[in-house]
Amino acid sequence: MLTVPKRAGGAIPRPVLFALAASVSVAACLWISPVRASPGVEDDYPQPKLGRASYYGYGFAGRRTASGDRFHPDELTAAHRFLPLGTKVRVTNLVNGRSVLVTINDRGPYVRGRNIDLSLGAARELGMLSCGVTQVLISEL
């Protein structure tokens, strides 16, 4: 009597083969990670910093700043402890969302807990004349 072989031992049914191929491709897609900069590479712009801003006005008008220029209260300038003189900085008032672009031309502030001193013109643009000191976001450009 002849017997018909059932199935060869190494054959894999098609549905199982398709499921295996699909799972391998999904695993390969999940394994690939997005491209990231290497840890040693810095961004072009530093991260913005939270801080407190105050302003100084007409009492310092005409005095020389650390950059050698005369201080004009109505110009959009600021004093910062360590940013290079001439640096452009965007200062955003976190209370009302207004922002201004200022140039660092002096050193200061010399009061603990404050990060930047703005000219009267910059403080007017930010809407902080009534409060004197406010929370800001300082973004170096």
30-72 pLDDT, tens per residue?
A: 555 555 555 655 566 788 999 999 998 888 999 999 999 999 9
63-89 in b/e form (b: 16+ CB < 10 A) is eebeeeeebbbebbbbbbeebebeeeb
What's the DSSP call for residue 140?
A: E
Query: Residue 63 contacts by C-beta under 8 Å, 6 or more apart in sequence?
Result: 70, 71
Strand partners, 102: 89
The Cβ of residue 133 has, within 10 Å, a number of other Cβ atoms equal to: 14
Q: Cα separation of 56 and 119, whole Å?
A: 6
Residue 134: CB atoms within 10 A of its CB come to 20
| Phi and psi angles of residue 138, each rounded to the nearest 5 degrees, phi first | -110, 115
Q: Residue 106 has what pLDDT?
A: 95
| Token reading at 33 | 């990670």
Tens of pLDDT, residue by residue over 69-122, are 999 999 999 999 999 999 999 999 999 999 999 999 999 998 999 999 999 999
Domain ranges of the chain: 49-140
Contacts of 99 (CB under 8 A, 6+ apart): 90, 91, 92, 93, 126
The CATH number corresponding to 49-140 among 2.40.40.10, 3.40.50.300, 3.40.50.720, 3.40.800.10 equals 2.40.40.10
The pTM (predicted TM-score) of the whole model is: 0.68
